[in-house]
Amino acid sequence: MATVPPVTHPPSNPIVSFESVGKRFDNGHTVLEGIDLDIAPGAFVSFIGPSGCGKSTLLRLIAGLTPATSGRVVVDGATPEGARSGTFFVFQDANLLPWRRVAGNVDLPLMLRGDRPESRRKRVDEMLELVGLSGAAAKFPWQLSGGMRMRVSIARALSLAPRILLLDEPFGALDEMTRDRLNEDLLAIRQRDPFTAFFVTHSVSEAVFLSTQVVVLGSNPGRVTDVIEVPFAYPRPAELREAPEFLSLLARTTHALRAALPPP
């Protein structure tokens, strides 16, 4: 008798796999337990869940900044430590060097890698064009808005062409209009310069707008309580946010998040 295939197939060539991953800190606190995920190259994965459920820790595991204490994380067929040069972090604080101009900040990873000045200049120009900041190359970070500073931070992260971008609440400090605009820009950048994204946010609407999958986490210990597939094709127009299919997926995701929250 023929077997019925599962509705969703795990990718056959995942770029990141979590195999029964657990993380226990030295103080005895078990933060994550039994995490199983297979992520396909080119995916845009958002993690949402209550504060302290282990979202940032998940990103740090992928980056090889902290080891799993049980199970295994595989990144690009290697250990996360081995694949470290293919990953790059973007944080909520743009973390720009105040004494370097915009171009100098984007140039920094290329300079540290030892690239030649000519190729660095070309790459910096490309990156600033990609994030729409060609006109701001000579400005200092303090001369920019919060949204522009985040754009510089993204340009800097992409300058080394990482295969995997890890974004930990990158737009959390921005007003809603700026955040929406940056969400649209991030997707446009990804169309031109593809990467696999792992994105932590507390905004359900941001998660659904950006992602191919939204991973919902529960806490104590952190575990996956739901994975919501987002079927909308890219490029995604801003108007998608008003479409009935979007609003209904938003409601579903909000419901899943509410179910994952600890009781009051």
Ligand X SMILES: Nc1ncnc2c1ncn2[C@@H]1O[C@H](COP(=O)(O)OP(=O)(O)OP(=O)(O)O)[C@@H](O)[C@H]1O
Residues at the interface with Mg ion (CB under 5 A): 56
Number of other CB atoms surrounding residue 125 within 10 Å: 14
Please select the residue that binds ligand X; options are 10, 52, 67, 77, rule is CB under 6 A: 52
Strands 70-75 and 213-218: unpaired
CB 256 within 8 A of CB 225: yes
Runs of H (alpha helix) within 73-195: 102-113, 117-130, 146-158, 176-192
Residue 27 near which of ligand X, Mg ion, none (CB within 5-8 Å, type-dependent): ligand X
Q: How far is the CB of 124 from Mg ion (least distance, A)?
A: 30
Q: Is 258 in the site for ligand X (CB under 6 A)?
A: no
Q: How far is the CB of 70 from ligand X (least distance, A)?
A: 15
Q: How far is the CB of 167 from ligand X (least distance, A)?
A: 12
Give the C-alpha separation, 244 to 63, whole Å. Answer: 37
Please select the residue that binds ligand X; options are 39, 53, 154, 216, rule is CB under 6 A: 53
Q: Is 13 in the site for ligand X (CB under 6 A)?
A: no
When the beta carbons of 61 and 136 are compared against ligand X, the nearer one is 61
Site for ligand X in 200-219 (CB under 6 A): none
Q: Is the omega angle on the peptide bond into residue 10 within 30 degrees of 0, that is, cis? A: no
Greatest Cα pair distance, the chain, in angstroms, is 69
**169: nearest Cα among 16, 84, 59:** 59
When the beta carbons of 56 and 95 are compared against Mg ion, the nearer one is 56
Residue keyed to tokens 């979202």: 55
Q: Is 27 in the site for ligand X (CB under 6 A)?
A: yes
Site for ligand X in 64-83 (CB under 6 A): none
Binding region for ligand X (CB under 6 A): 25, 27, 29, 31, 51-57
